[in-house]
Chain A
Amino acid sequence: GAGVSQTPSNKVTEKGKYVELRCDPISGHTALYWYRQSLGQGPEFLIYFQGTGAADDSGLPNDRFFAVRPEGSVSTLKIQRTERGDSAVYLCASSLILVGGTEAFFGQGTRLTVV
């Protein structure tokens, strides 16, 4: 079956613009996570969803970042007024259930470059 799909794979945007990053999780997975990976660093947690609701958004760096999952499947990470410091690879992952220790399956990421 298909894995976690993220689109676009690459996005270049100008400083100050708005961007949306899309994540299609594995079918049937109820939990969905967003991470951000800066160059030379490990992924950092941003937010996770159980179904449609954001169960924990404590990793979002500021109010320019927002994520939705309106139907409990596809999720969109939205970044307003982008800054050069937002440049990173944004990773999405999904898991069957929201239980510690459950394997999370990662997409290949969206590389965002803000110029």
Chain B
Amino acid sequence: AQSVTQLDSQVPVFEEAPVELRCNYSSSVSVYLFWYVQYPNQGLQLLLKYLSGSTLVKGINGFEAEFNKSQTSFHLRKPSVHISDTAEYFCAVSDFEGAQKLVFGQGTRLTINP
């Protein structure tokens, strides 16, 4: 079984500042890793995913994440945030065997202050 821990429930940052949202996972098997974003009153939207290959993954809206197998982490980063990035961010894993049976973290609320 897998589990996901998002270490920060809330992250406030100023506009144009860099941000890192932390995600650690636990699994006894190889996994796929995902970051989803949920804007206010909208459904979950895929930001990026790691399946294999390069450990640095680039996604939409200028976000990127780095897979670190030894630290079992998949932290999300953006060098300069915008007000429109205000949203809830969810890290998720699924294992190789099954389908898209995602195990989500509890979410990190990113608030951008002007």
Judging by beta carbons under 8 Å apart, are A101 and B49 in contact? yes
A107 to B38, CA, bound (A): 11
A67 CB to nearest chain B CB (Å): 15
Q: Answer yes or no: B100 CB below 8 A from chain A CBs.
A: yes
Shortest beta-carbon distance from A7 to chain B in Å = 14
Contact, CB under 8 Å: B44 / A100 = no
Of residues 29 through 79 on chain B, the ones whose CB sits less than 8 Å from some CB of chain A are 32, 36, 41-46, 49, 51
Residues of B within 8 A of A41 (CB): 106-107
CB A9 to nearest CB in B, in angstroms, measures 10
Q: How far in angstroms is the closest Cβ of chain B from A58?
A: 9
Docked-complex contact A102 and B100, CB < 8 angstroms: yes
B103 / chain A contacts, CB cutoff of 8 Å: 45
Q: Are A93 and B45 in contact (CB under 8 A)?
A: no
Interfacial chain B residues near A108, Cβ < 8 Å: 41-43
What size tier do the contact residues of chain A reach? 20 to 34
The answer to whether B44 and A106 have CB atoms under 8 Å apart is yes
Question: In the complex, A31 Cα to B96 Cα: how many Å?
Answer: 16
B49 cross-chain contacts in A, Cβ below 8 A: 101, 103
> Which residues of chain B are within 8 angstroms of A4 by Cβ–Cβ distance?
43
A43 to B103, CA, bound (A): 8
Cα–Cα distance between A50 and B49 once the two chains are bound (Å): 22
Q: Which residues of A contact B (CB under 8 A)?
A: 3-4, 31, 33, 35, 40-45, 48, 50, 55-56, 91, 93, 95, 98-109
Give B contacts to A, CB under 8 Å: 4, 6, 32, 36, 41-46, 49, 51, 90, 92, 94-107
Nearest 5 pairs of A and B residues by beta carbon: A42-B104, A106-B44, A98-B99, A106-B43, A108-B43
